[in-house]
A and B are shown apart, each in its own frame.
Chain A
């Protein structure tokens, strides 16, 4: 538990959080691993956990009947895997497949949202940092669809 608590305390999402809040987070956390090729979750499944990637690489995929699995992005150590656990309908929007062996910290989403809802000194900074991360991810996704390496550039 101490190791998980230390890990959470060092993560950008929880940097500067009070020791009591880190204890609370640690009580909601479990460690998991997924072998390369395995699925962490599938599109449409209930999102019951907030996942933080500790090691390895995950691919977020959308399945196409004609093209198969299309990778919309990959995630590396330290990154939050998704936000679907935070808002209704609490369903994952993509598949999450382990590209390599991965290690994950999983936080119980129901417990996490209950604490955040009941304690603004915990919930507000948590949501603010998650928003920062999601905006950064959104900006990267926008750049990704710009097709900057397409025909308009000689580079």
Chain B
């Protein structure tokens, strides 16, 4: 059984300055994804952050309010600004989502492990992305990067779960992918009326309908933790080995450099060993409610 390399510690940022010092970025684009969710395009005002890998996150600081971790939702090779998709849920995220064009925010990063797309052991695999709700944002970075190297993979599939049809993230991009022949896209929602022609049900119910070979599949999963647990179980039941399933976990983070302990998850820190973990490493920990 070959071990896939994920959850590795990223290289230290190459920019000048300590990792706790935010680097000023300017908001140059805003795209309202949903009533409470916006994608911000950010460009550096002077210094640049080190290059990121899909699945990694930045700490985004709103001056005078606070700082939160946000995954990058664009791919490394994308033209244009660095994209972060944020839902206005708490004080910091609401302030961030409300930042107007031209406003300054501070970024630290990139931090954490990535989806591991550069791993040569992914060559020839059926690569499956399973996104729940806003979990599509960090997965989009990975999927865009995978599409850019489409020939490496036997197949690419994207399963998307959302609450209802008008709360599906990035619908225009999903339509483009669905219309092409590079990615098999299936979208399901929890609730819909009869005007919705897609699937209704949970994302994990789509797993048995995947066309690939479970033994050849690597699955990247991001969404609410309950959704990820059920999806990982469905993938395992379908025949995907635990070490070939990768989950992006979410925990309260403060320092992002494994010093403060806020994101401690068992013996690891999600900001450093995570957020992307192989399922075999965290499956039992996910059952521990105190974590």
Binding site for B on A (CB under 8 A): 57, 59, 61, 67-74, 76-77, 97, 99, 140, 143-151, 153-155
Contacts and interface: CB of A to CB of B under 8 A. Distances in A.
Contacts of A77: 209
Interface of B: 87, 89-90, 93, 132-135, 161-163, 167, 188, 190-194, 196-202, 204-205, 209, 222-227, 230, 250
B66 to A, nearest CB: 14
Contacts of A74: 188, 198-201
Most chain A C-beta atoms within 10 Å of own C-beta, residue among B132, B197, B223? B197
Given A149-B190, A155-B133, A155-B223, A59 B200 contact: yes
A71 B209 contact: no
Contact of B194 (A71, A146, A153): A71
Contacts of B205: 140
B76 to A, nearest CB: 22
Given A140-B204, A140-B205, A155-B250, A59 B194 contact: yes
A149 B153 CA distance: 30
B200 A149 contact: no
Contacts, number: 86
A154 B89 contact: yes
A66 to B, nearest CB: 11
A149 B93 contact: no
B163 A149 contact: yes
B72 to A, nearest CB: 15
